[in-house]
Amino acid sequence: MKLNEMRQVWKDELVSETPMEEQKMLNALKQESASLDKKIKRRDLIEIGTSVFLFLVWLWQAFIVPGLVAKAGLVILMGASIYIPWRLLQAREAEAPVDASLKTVLQHEIRKTRKQVELLGNVTRWYLAPPAIGMLVFFLGVVLLIPGEIPLWIRLSGFLVPALVMLAVFAGVRWLNHRAVREHLEPRLRKLQAELARLDQEASEAPPAHQH
Amino acid sequence: MGLGDVDEQAFLKLIRENLRRIRWIAGKFHSGADADDVSQEILLQLWRSFPTFRGDSAAATWVYRIAVNTAVTYERKHYRHRQQIPLDSTEELQGSDPDSLRQAEILKQFLGQLKEMDAVLLMMYLDGLSAEDMANVVGMSGNNVSARISRMKKRFEAQYVGEPA
C-alpha cells in the first residue's frame, strides 16, 4: 500500500457524521470572544484606574498632611503610582499574528515569557520597593508629627507596627510572584525553548535524497 | 478587533470543512480534556482572526497555521472559566465498508506513530498542500519538508507492504 492512496481515506476521515450545532457554536464563540475583549479592557481599566485613583489620593493627602517628611513620603508614593503602571504597560507585548509561521510565534512567545519572568522575578525592585519606601517615609513623617512629650517606644511602635504589617504583606506578594515564576513561567519558557530548538534541529537536518 | 461584520456563513463553511482537521491536530499535540480545550482555543483564534483572513493563502493552509501555532503554544488555564463551544463529539473512524474502515485504521495507526510535526506534515501532504505551503506552516525549508515526506512514504510502504489498497 502506498501513502498516496491514503488521500481519499484522509478526505473521508475529515467528513464528520455528526452535524455541528452551528448556531450554538457561533453564539458560544461570540460570547467567548466578547468576554476575552472585556477581560482585556477591564485589566487596562483596573491598572490605569487604580494608578489615577492612588495618585489623586496621595496628592490630596500631600495638601492636607503637615510636615515635610510625610509630604516627601507622599511624593514618593505619587511617583510609584505612575511608575508601576508605566512598567506594566512597557512590559506588555503586542500579540504575534496568530497565523504567522510557527517559528515566529514561538520566538514571540519566548520573548513575552522572558519579559514576564524578568518582571515577576524583579517584583521587589519595581513594584514593591517604590511604594514601600514611600510608605516608610510617610509613617516616619506621621510619627514625627505627634505632638507633646510621649515615650520613645510609643513613637517607635507607631512607626514600626504599620511598617512591619506593610512589609509582611509585601513579602507575601513577593513570594507569590516568585512562586509563579518558579512553578509556571520558567517551565513554560523551557517548554517553548525546547519546541523552538526541536524545530531548528528538524529544519537543519540533512536535505532530501528524494523529492515527493 | 472588529468582529461585527464577520461573514458568518463563510466562517461556518470554513469550520465545517476543517473541524475534524482541527480535532486531529489538537489530539496529536494534547490528550484528553486538554485536546478538547485546544480545539476550542483554535476555533476561537480562527473566529477572531477570520476578519483579517484575506485569502492570500489557501484556507486549509491558514487553518493549519493557526491550529499548529495554537496547539504548540497552548497554555492550560485552570482559572479560566471558558464558555463551552459545542464541537462534534465523534472521533470514531469513518468508513462504510470493512476495507475503508481497515484503511482508516491503518492511517490512524500510522499517524499515531509519528512525531507531532511529522504527523502535521503528513496531514498536509494528504490534503494536497504544496511543499512550500507546508514549509511555511511549520517553519522548515521546502527541501526539508520534501525529505520528511519522502521518508514517511518509505516507512509507510515498508510497514504496510502487502496491505490491499
Range B1-77: architecture per CATH: Orthogonal Bundle (1.10)
* Cell digits of residue A76: 514618593
Helix pair angle (A102-121, A186-203), 10° resolution = 150
Q: In this prediction, what percent of chain A has a pLDDT beyond 70?
A: 94
Could you tell me the pTM of the whole model?
0.80
The per-residue pLDDT for B52 is 84
3-class secondary-structure state, position B97 = coil
The per-residue pLDDT for B69 is 93
3-class secondary-structure state, position B71 = helix
| B72:A212 CB<8 A | no
The per-residue pLDDT for B141 is 84
Kindly state the helix (H) or strand (E) to which residue B146 belongs, with its residue range: helix B142-159
Residue with cell 503602571: A85
A135 CB near a chain B CB, below 8 Å? no
Q: pLDDT category, B1, cuts 50, 70, 90?
A: very low
Residue B153 has pLDDT above 80, yes or no: yes
Residue B90 has pLDDT above 60, yes or no: no
| B120 closest CA partner among B50, B65, B58, B41 | B65
CATH number of B95-165: 1.10.10
Q: pLDDT category, A183, cuts 50, 70, 90?
A: very high
Indicate the domain borders of chain B. Answer: 1-77, 95-165
Chain A residue numbers touching B128 (CB-CB < 8 A): 7
The per-residue pLDDT for B80 is 53
- Distance, in Å, from the CA atom of B38 to the CA atom of B44, rounded to the nearest integer, reads 10
| A212:B146 CB<8 A | yes
Alpha-helix residue ranges (DSSP H) falling in A65-95 = 68-91
B150 CB near a chain A CB, below 8 Å? yes
Chain A residue numbers touching B97 (CB-CB < 8 A): none
Residue of chain B minimizing CA distance to A206: B144
Of B49, B95, B165, the CB nearest to A1: B165
| B19 closest CA partner among B49, B39, B37, B33 | B39
What's the half-sphere exposure (Cβ side, CA atoms, 13 Å) at B1?
20
Query: What pLDDT digit, counting tens, does each position of B155-164 carry?
Result: 998 888 766 5
Please check whether residue A10 is in contact with residue B60, taking contact to mean a CB–CB distance below 8 angstroms.
no
Residue A194 has pLDDT above 50, yes or no: yes
The per-residue pLDDT for B103 is 84
CA distances (Å), A145 to each of A35, A40, A64, B42, B56, in order? 50, 44, 13, 61, 71
The per-residue pLDDT for A176 is 96
Among A36-40, A57-61, A196-200, B55-59, the minimum mean pLDDT is found in B55-59
The per-residue pLDDT for A211 is 45
Q: Where do the DSSP E strands lie in A17-76?
A: none
- Distance, in Å, from the CA atom of A98 to the CA atom of B2, rounded to the nearest integer, reads 16
The DSSP secondary-structure symbol of B50 reads: G
Residue B152 has pLDDT above 80, yes or no: yes
A208 or B44, which is more confident: B44
Q: pLDDT category, B96, cuts 50, 70, 90?
A: low
Of A9, A30, A37, the CB nearest to B107: A9
* Cell digits of residue A110: 519566548
Query: At a CB cut-off of 8 Å and minimum separation 6, what does B115 contact?
Result: none
Residue A212 has pLDDT above 50, yes or no: no
Chain A residue numbers touching B141 (CB-CB < 8 A): 203
Mean pLDDT, residues B39-44 taken together: 92
Residue with cell 472588529: B2
Kindly state the helix (H) or strand (E) to which residue A47 belongs, with its residue range: helix A22-64
Average pLDDT over all residues of chain B: 82
Residue A108 has pLDDT above 60, yes or no: yes
A150 or A184, which is more confident: A184
| A163 closest CA partner among A185, A182, A140 | A140
Of B44, B69, B162, the CB nearest to A32: B44
Query: What pLDDT digit, counting tens, does each position of A140-164 carry?
Result: 999 888 877 788 888 888 899 999 9
Amino acid making up residue A137: V
| A29:B125 CB<8 A | no
Query: What pLDDT digit, counting tens, does each position of A109-147 carry?
Result: 999 999 999 999 999 999 999 999 999 999 999 988 887
Amino acid making up residue B103: Q
**Torsion sign, CA atoms B68, B70, B72, B78:** negative
Mean pLDDT, residues A86-98 taken together: 81
Average pLDDT over all residues of chain A: 87
Q: pLDDT category, B16, cuts 50, 70, 90?
A: confident
Residue B84 has pLDDT above 80, yes or no: no
| A12 closest CA partner among B86, B162, B12, B99 | B99
Residue B21 has pLDDT above 60, yes or no: yes
Residue B104 has pLDDT above 50, yes or no: yes
B46-69 burial, b if ≥16 CB within 10 A, otherwise e? bbbbbeebeeebeebbbbbbbbbb
Q: In this prediction, what percent of chain A has a pLDDT beyond 90?
A: 50
A149 CB near a chain B CB, below 8 Å? no
The per-residue pLDDT for B95 is 54
